[in-house]
Amino acid sequence: MEPLAMDGNAALPTTTATMTAPESNGSAPMPSSNGISADEIALYDRQIRLWGMKAQEKIRSANILLITMKALANEIAKNLVLAGIGSLTVVDHEAVTEADFGAQFFLSAEDHHIGMNRAVAASAAIQRLNPRVRVHIDTVDIRFRPASFFSQFDIVIATDLDTQALNLINTATRVNNRAFYAASSHGMCGFIFADLIEHDYVIERNESNLPTALGPESKTRSIVAVAPKSDSNSKIELVTKRELYSTWLLASDASKLPDEILKSARRRKVVTPVLSCLRALWEFTSVYGEPPNPNNHAALASYTRMCTEKHKALGLPVETLRSEVLRTFLQNIGAEIAPITAVLGGQLAQDVINVLGQTQQPIQNFVIFDGNTMDATIYALHPEGPLGKALLLSTPVDVNVSNGDAVAATFGTAPLPVSLVDPSQVIALDL
């Protein structure tokens, strides 16, 4: 894989389409001083009543980067554009194929999209959802973008990419102090990952008899400020909380489950084995450069061993990693199912809106979705040691320079090589 450029050199040429809409919206409250019109207030009335004018103003000015326009990104784009973000930049260098028509509603064979760039083909349909949102299209492979490219966005969302690309992009967002999301779906399963570095949000709650103390509430969350609500006659306080995050590389493989889960046999037993399957998939693609081929017995044996090792490393009981779980997961790697991408895309988009509005607790830090049980469980997966901005300072960065100007920066070291596998570990797949 070609490295992601991490310097400030000029980017490669790009095909960019920009569609700009008039500055207007609509609702019931009075227009604000920053330019939200009465028309805009009327349009977004229901969501303004839900999260407030200040949050809508932040959403309206947000500049979002969305990478890879497949079924999951379709759902994310739809929800963000309808919410009224300021601009959406879609990056995808791949062409539309027949397989894209299965679960993607921005594309159609009738519009002769086959062979077109995926982002370009989807752009008109995205724009029609909300002409007020500025839609930009970028057809350059994201891995060739310099780190400075990501500084222009408030939030970066990477979908359906391999773990090496996610690590590189997350490194760039960390360098630029930008929020990062990663997500992917595999048939009935999928995940959402968030690295917001350090994120503050404010909640309202009734004052208690005892004053609210400043300080940590958990390993990742602390109370940093408390103040009375000035425009309320009742005893309501505004509590500012801060969440700390870790990087994709550390959270996706090197982090254990929270102690409250590991200390309980009952809770360990209900942890979804999809987490182990995903971790094994990420390691397999890092080592071999592609997902396991169900028709390759050596690949299946290697993947099975990896999955078993990941399950054991997480401290999970061996009986929860059943052969049918592995078989189903392997058969659906990369598959797109519209109802599943709708659930994942909706949850990710809602969290982005919550983060922009800063009035709700965000995802911390993994959502593992198992469509077979219809569970979307949040796991806080973090390494030992400092988190947030301190993590960037405490973790050494290996910088490898190639071709003079293309620099790939990653945290930590490369995956260990895969050892020889026992043929008895091969799963018998009934394909």
CATH number at residue 360: 3.40.50.720
Predicted local distance difference test score (pLDDT) of residue 423: 41
User: Are the beta carbons of 240 and 224 closer than 8 angstroms?
Assistant: yes
Report if residue 130 sits inside a domain: yes
| Measured distance CA(35)–CA(45) in Å, rounded | 16
Predicted local distance difference test score (pLDDT) of residue 30: 41
Is the preceding peptide bond at 233 cis, omega within 30 degrees of 0? Answer: no
Domain co-membership, 229 together with 298:
no
Domain co-membership, 64 together with 106:
yes
Predicted local distance difference test score (pLDDT) of residue 47: 78
Report if residue 1 sits inside a domain: no
Domain co-membership, 151 together with 271:
no
Tokens of 202: 């404010």
Domain co-membership, 25 together with 116:
yes
Predicted local distance difference test score (pLDDT) of residue 134: 96
Predicted local distance difference test score (pLDDT) of residue 31: 41
Residue with token string 């190639």: 402
Report if residue 202 sits inside a domain: yes
Predicted local distance difference test score (pLDDT) of residue 232: 62
Report if residue 24 sits inside a domain: yes
- Number of structural domains found in the chain: 3
Domain co-membership, 59 together with 133:
yes
**DSSP label of 194:** E
Residues 6+ apart with CB under 8 A from 76: 66, 157, 159, 183, 345, 348, 349, 352
Residue 352 belongs to domain spanning: 18-195+337-379
Domain co-membership, 188 together with 318:
no
Domain co-membership, 272 together with 186:
no
Report if residue 411 sits inside a domain: no
Domain co-membership, 65 together with 104:
yes
Report if residue 409 sits inside a domain: no
Predicted local distance difference test score (pLDDT) of residue 107: 86
Report if residue 397 sits inside a domain: no
Domain co-membership, 66 together with 186:
yes
Predicted local distance difference test score (pLDDT) of residue 15: 43
Predicted local distance difference test score (pLDDT) of residue 408: 38
Report if residue 251 sits inside a domain: no
Domain co-membership, 202 together with 170:
no
Domain co-membership, 25 together with 156:
yes
Domain co-membership, 230 together with 123:
no
Give the chain's residues under pLDDT 50: 1-33, 396-431
Report pTM.
0.84
